[in-house]
Amino acid sequence: MRISRFLFFVPIFASILGFVGCSRQPDSLSTLQPDSNSLEKRYEDLIVGYAQLGAESEWRAANTISIKETAEQLGVELRFLDAQQKQDNQIEAIRKLIIQKVDVIGISPIVETGWDEVFQEAKDAGIPIILVDRRAAVPDDLYVSYLGSDFLEEGRKAARIMAELVDGKASIVELVGTIGSAPANDRYTGFREVIKDYPGMKIIASESGDFTRARGREVMAAFLEKYGSEITAVYAHNDDMALGAIEAIEEYGLKPGEDIMIVSIDAARGAFEAMIAGKLNATVECNPLLGPQFFELALKVVNGQLIPKWVPSIESVFFPEDAAEILPTRKY
């Protein structure tokens, strides 16, 4: 069944038109505005710190490569720190980068809350923060821009696809991402916003698989143990957890993609391979290749130029019938 793609593009453009606004750097960062005697900085002049959250998924690996490769291509000096999925480590990383007096700090916050203090420290040191991939629940003046996806819309897209696939009737289990993270919060909410209009679609269980394949598999095995063939659909907040769920479903003796419909998010290569094998029914794109846009924003910030408060990624939805043709073109 081919679902009208038009349905999925309209909200993307609406959100771009509706929410993106330009903002100058907050006043307390005005010392970063170049004075009339100073020359504009170029990429080769920049020292950029990056506090990555970890390496939990295929998506994250592609995101890290994009940041590192782009820095190298542009000649930017990159100080890259990996927090190994712990917020304390990520906070520590920001403090190290402040001591090192980098020009800009990029961060993908592992969870939404708990950043005010350390972001304020960066602001006091005159170092602008760019949120990459994930938002943080902080006042607007504590970061200069957010570069990343509309996670709410990703959840809505997944629900619209699911509703079409199951004809408005399903017993769904949900594999949630990292608890407290922006994508898990918004994909959870966006999905529910849509399925509330489908009385035949019920979420019978929802649990975190922490965005990893191993946890996705474990949680799905436990769901199957408890609900067995009552489960007719899986909504996974990312492809890695969907791939883990596919393994658990096969071990249980059911056919993923047929006995149990599966929709996930990311559009990583592993998802395309699963769609080609008929085991995954759709994947909603979440683009990790943010390196070029991130460094462009960083350069503009240090040169005191206008930058948007939100730079949203343009993303699509992919289905099994196109997977074989599209896979060779995928970069992650």
User: Which of 45, 62, 71, 103 has the alpha carbon at shortest distance from 295?
Assistant: 71
User: Which of 190, 143, 163, 173 has the alpha carbon at shortest distance from 286?
Assistant: 190
User: Which of 158, 207, 183 has the alpha carbon at shortest distance from 56?
Assistant: 183
Total number of residues that touch ligand AHR (CB under 6 A):
13
174 in contact with ligand AHR (CB under 6 A): no
Please state the closest distance from residue 228 (CB atom) to ligand AHR, in A.
28
Q: At what angle do helices 58-74 and 291-302 cross, to 10 degrees?
A: 50
59 in contact with ligand AHR (CB under 6 A): yes
- The single residue among 104, 265, 290, 298 that binds ligand AHR, judged by CB under 6 A, is 265
Query: Residues 177 to 196: which contact ligand AHR by CB under 6 A?
Result: 183
Query: In whole angstroms, what is the distance from residue 112 CA to residue 166 CA?
Result: 33
3-state helix, strand, coil in the chain (%, to 5): 45, 20, 35
Stretch that binds ligand AHR, among 31-39, 54-62, 86-94, 277-285 (CB under 6 A): 54-62
Strand-strand pairing, 307-308 and 282-285: unpaired
Please state the closest distance from residue 305 (CB atom) to ligand AHR, in A.
27
134 in contact with ligand AHR (CB under 6 A): yes
Place of tokens 């020009």: 103
266 in contact with ligand AHR (CB under 6 A): yes
Query: Residues 211 to 240: which contact ligand AHR by CB under 6 A?
Result: 211, 238, 240
- The single residue among 112, 133, 150, 285 that binds ligand AHR, judged by CB under 6 A, is 133
Question: Cβ(238)–Cβ(211) under 8 Å?
Answer: yes
103 or 112: CB nearest ligand AHR: 112
Q: Which residues of this protein are in contact with ligand AHR, per CB under 6 A?
A: 56-57, 59-60, 133-134, 183, 211, 238, 240, 265-266, 286
